[in-house]
Structure 1
Amino acid sequence: MLVYGDTGVGKSSLVKYAAEDESLASLTIECLSSKSYSELIEDGIRKLVEVREIKKTTSLSAGAEVEASGKVPFLLTLKGKLQGKVGRESEFEVINKPPLDVLLEAMQIANKKLIIFDNFQNITSESDRLLIAQTLEFLADRSASTGDIKAVVIGIAEDASSLLGGSGSFQRRTTEVGVPRMPDDEIAEILNRGFSKLGIGISPAIISKLVFYSDGFPYFGHLLGLQVARAVRREGSIFAAESMVETALARAVRDVDKSYNDRTRRAFEAGGEVQPRRRILEILSMSDKREWRSADVIAAYEDRFEKRADYAFLHTSLAQLTDVKHGAILSRSGTRNSYIYRFSDPQMRPYLRLTAFGK
Structure 2
Amino acid sequence: ALPYPGQLQKKQAHVQKLLGGFGPVRPILGMADPWHYRNKAVSTFAAGPGRSLRSGIYAQGTHKVVPVEACLLHHPALDEAIAAVRTAAAACRYEPFNEDTRTGLLRHVLVRHSRAAGEVLVCLVTATPELPGSRAFVAKLRQLCPQVSTVVQNINPRHSSAVLGSAEKILYGRGCIQDSLCGVRFQVSASSFYQVNPVQTELLYNQVIAAAALTGAETLLDAYCGVGTIGLSCAGRARHVLGVEVNRSAVQCAVQNARLNGIRNARFVCADAGKAMLDLAASGQRPDVVILDPPRAGSTPEFLTALDALAPRRAVYVSCEPATQRRDLEFLVQRGWHVEHIQPVDLFPHTEHVESIVQITRM
Bin for the TM-score computed over the shorter chain: under 0.3
TM-score relative to the length of structure 1? 0.25
TM-score relative to the length of structure 2? 0.25
Question: Which structure has the greater CA radius of gyration?
Answer: 1
